[in-house]
Chains A and B, each alone.
Chain A
Amino acid sequence: MDERRNQRVEADEILRATRFAIARAKQGARKEVTPDDLLAGLLHASARFGIVALGPWNIDLEELGESPIEETDASGPKVAYTPDAAAVFDRAATIARRDRSPNVEIVHMLVAFAEQRDGLMGRLKHTYGLTATEWRAALARWQPAHRNRTAPDGAGTQPVAGAPVQELLSPDEAAEFLGVHTQTVRGYMRSGKLPAHRLAGERALRIRRQDLLALLEPYEPE
């Protein structure tokens, strides 16, 4: 199902972050994954060229002392989440629910660190002069670098240089492309307003990008 596919993309990002967090703990020969490990993993999973571009801040992971970690080796101690790290997941799940998100995304995990004053988050706030409110506000408007497939002006038709244009989109991706809820896209499909296609023999639905653009009507002020 398309929702599942999209959730898998999200899950992959979270898994990338937690894999990094676990590797960071193992590198430190620790048996526990701390909130700092988690935050480092989340930032690395959101970074491009070692920078997390968040609102007016360019968070430089090297400057924070968070260099990339070689993750190739799965050996090392067996590591468990500390109760504090477990609490981050619970807070993120609450934030995701309030955000009406069907799944916990990296951004929800990052928001869960807003009130933290010590450790890596404390360093980050101190280095960049960030308050908890500014952190949440910046995340509210944030799109991770690797997911910026379209131009930031909202038109969404100009691909970023070098990024491949995706011609077929799932209902979730189509909703993201249009900036509306998935249910809205599904409504368009049901009413016949938006042509959709099934992959031969599969349940998965795909929508042509050009059909999404065809939905646009000129705005005529009254």
Chain B
Amino acid sequence: MSYFVVQRTLPGITPEALAGAGLRAKTCAAEMTREGTPVRWIRSFFLPETQQTHCYFEGPTAESVREVNQRANIPFVAIHEVKELTPDVV
């Protein structure tokens, strides 16, 4: 499994709309997992200054992460693979 960041620019997005999108992502990821492609939304960060949102997903490929976002009807700018680094491993 790999980690991916989904970058979005959602100007004027409200916390409610973010929560709605999160629920859509979660339900679509569950369906894809049921279909045999295990994808998981991990967490998201909203950057108020730039109005950007960074959403982290775990999945087999970037394509699987793209698909979950398309199914959830959440617009995005780019999807990149990321390498995880935490204080525990340095």
Residues of B with Cβ closer than 8 Å to A? 14-21, 23-24, 26-28, 30-31, 34-36, 67, 70-74
Contact = CB atoms under 8 A, between A and B. Distances in A.
Given A90-B16, A93-B16, A94-B16, A104 B23 contact: yes
Contacts of B27: 14-15, 18-19
Nearest to A104: B23
Contacts of B28: 80-81
A91 to B, nearest CB: 8
Interface of A: 11, 14-15, 18-19, 22, 74-75, 78-83, 85-86, 89-94, 96-97, 104
Contact of B34 (A74, A80, A104): A74
Given A22-B31, A93-B16, A86 B23 contact: no
A104 B19 CA distance: 8
Contacts of B20: 86, 89-94, 104
Contacts of B24: 81, 86, 89
A81 B72 contact: yes
Given A93-B17, A97-B15, A80 B26 contact: no
A89 B70 CA distance: 15
Nearest to B19: A93
A85 B20 CA distance: 11
A81 B28 CA distance: 9
23 contacts: A11-B26, A14-B23, A14-B27, A15-B27, A19-B27, A75-B35, A79-B31, A80-B71, A80-B72, A81-B71, A81-B73, A86-B20, A86-B21, A86-B72, A89-B20, A90-B16, A91-B20, A93-B16, A93-B17, A93-B19, A94-B14, A97-B16, A104-B19
A96 B67 CA distance: 27
Contacts of A86: 20-21, 24, 72-74
